[in-house]
């Protein structure tokens, strides 16, 4: 079986770890990763979501934090601070720096981001084929008002420096409109037997991937069923700021509203948490097959159960 999943960082990576447990030997998983969170710092290209996927699936992640390397040290950051060079709010550890150095060196030498990602995965062996959504530069920006001043900040600044404490007024994936899907992305979607949308952020992770012209269209045209899992449980994100960015695009923070936001053209099936069983009927009325199952990724076994439920729902809508 060929499975394609679109994914952001932590939510996507944790789900994929469960999916790897749930699939049969020989099944192939292709992951299309969000690169709208990418940021250039100190002349280096940092790809937070691709790295979270790679480190989580490759066994190098800082488990509690959910991002960055295990057993990290912070000498470079301390030295930068002595020079007064920021941004202080963004944490890049020493081990993590090596990834960004290798990536940036290869990009400077003329390799594409897909080629670089493949090269980094030779070390990490994530057990999936990891593709960036695009080799072209896309950067998610957020319009906010800070201390009475309207401004636009990079998504990382909104999330990491501001902790999403101010309202997001608009989300703009800068560059997405002219970006091309990375080599292999459309082909993988067309050849897939099942397409999954993990419980990643519907706006700044999955939404950004869908904003690359051709990707949403390929999912709609695909013969494979598309099944998603809600990142919203009991009316709130399990973790992070999905409520803030959903509000910015006029979508209520509920499992049913996120399904409607993706739409019945895109989604064939949708899993909501058992706590949201009351919304199953509304989702089905909107033309999307829906089931309520436990959706908390408390450990790999529980996450594998979620993945099995998603694969079962895909079989059900295919029938
Ligand atoms: P990010 O790029 O690191 O923000 O990660 P993603 O976009 O892949 O995932 C973020 C989303 O994962 C958030 O909206 C969370 O609500 C969701 N999430 C995190 N943990 C869980 C969980 O255990 N269950 C569910 N259903 N969603 C989760
Ligand atoms: Ca992200």
Ligand 1 mean position to 238 CA, how many Å?
Answer: 6
* Coil, helix or strand at residue 175: coil
Whole-number pLDDT of residue 319: 84
Supply the DSSP symbol for 76. Answer: H
Residue by residue, pLDDT tens for the chain (319 residues) are 999 999 999 999 999 999 999 999 999 999 999 999 999 999 999 999 999 999 999 999 999 999 999 999 999 999 999 999 999 999 899 999 999 999 999 999 999 999 999 999 999 999 999 999 999 999 999 999 999 999 999 999 999 999 999 999 999 999 999 999 999 999 999 999 999 999 999 999 999 999 999 999 999 999 999 999 999 999 999 999 999 999 999 999 999 999 999 999 999 999 999 999 999 999 999 999 999 999 999 999 999 999 999 999 999 999 8
Which two structure tokens, joined as six digits, stand for 183?
């080599």
Q: Are the beta carbons of 273 and 293 closer than 8 angstroms?
A: yes
Peptide bond connecting 87 to the previous residue in cis, omega within 30 degrees of 0: yes
How many of the other CB atoms lie within 10 Å of CB of 181?
23
Pairing of the two strands 39-41 and 129-132: unpaired
205 close to ligand 1 (CB < 6 Angstrom): yes
* Ligand 1, pocket-test mutation among 15, 204, 238, most atoms within 8 A of CB: 238
Identify the bridge partners of residue 227 per DSSP, sorted by sequence position.
Answer: 196, 269
* Per-residue burial over 282-297, b = 16 or more CB atoms within 10 Å of its CB, e = otherwise: bbeeeebbbbbbebeb
Q: Given the CA of residue 198, which atom of ligand 1 is nearest to it?
A: 8
Identify the bridge partners of residue 270 per DSSP, sorted by sequence position.
Answer: 228, 290
């Amino acid at each position: 079986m060929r499975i394609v999943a679109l994914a952001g960082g932590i939510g996507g990576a944790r789900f994929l770890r469960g999916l790897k447990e749930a699939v049969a030997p020989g099944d192939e998983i292709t992951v299309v990763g969000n690169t709208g969170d990418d940021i250039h710092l100190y002349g280096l290209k940092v790809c937070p979501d691709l790295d979270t996927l790679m480190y989580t699936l490759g066994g190098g992640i800082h488990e509690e934090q959910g991002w960055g390397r295990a057993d990290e040290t912070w000498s470079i950051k301390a030295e930068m601070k002595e020079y007064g060079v920021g941004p202080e709010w963004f944490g890049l550890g020493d081990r993590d720096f090596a990834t960004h150095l290798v990536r940036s060196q290869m990009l400077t030498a003329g390799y594409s981001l897909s080629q670089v990602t493949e090269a980094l995965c030779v070390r990490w062996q994530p057990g999936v084929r990891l593709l960036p959504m695009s080799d072209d530069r896309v950067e998610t920006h957020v319009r906010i008002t800070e201390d009475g001043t309207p401004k636009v900040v990079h998504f990382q600044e909104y999330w990491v420096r501001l902790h999403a404490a101010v309202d997001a007024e608009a989300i703009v994936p800068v560059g997405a409109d002219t970006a091309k899907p990375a080599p292999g992305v459309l082909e993988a979607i067309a050849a897939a037997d099942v397409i999954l949308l993990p419980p990643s952020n519907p706006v700044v992770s999955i939404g950004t991937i869908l904003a690359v012209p051709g990707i949403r269209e390929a999912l709609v045209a695909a013969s494979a069923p598309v099944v998603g899992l809600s990142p919203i449980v009991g009316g709130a994100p399990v973790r992070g700021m999905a409520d803030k960015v959903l509000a910015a695009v006029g979508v209520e923070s509920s499992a049913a509203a996120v399904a409607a936001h993706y739409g019945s053209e895109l989604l064939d099936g949708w899993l909501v948490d058992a706590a949201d069983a009351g919304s199953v009927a509304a989702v089905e009325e909107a033309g999307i097959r829906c089931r309520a199952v436990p959706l908390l990724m408390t450990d790999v076994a529980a996450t594998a159960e979620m993945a099995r439920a998603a694969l079962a729902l895909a079989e059900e809508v295919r029938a």
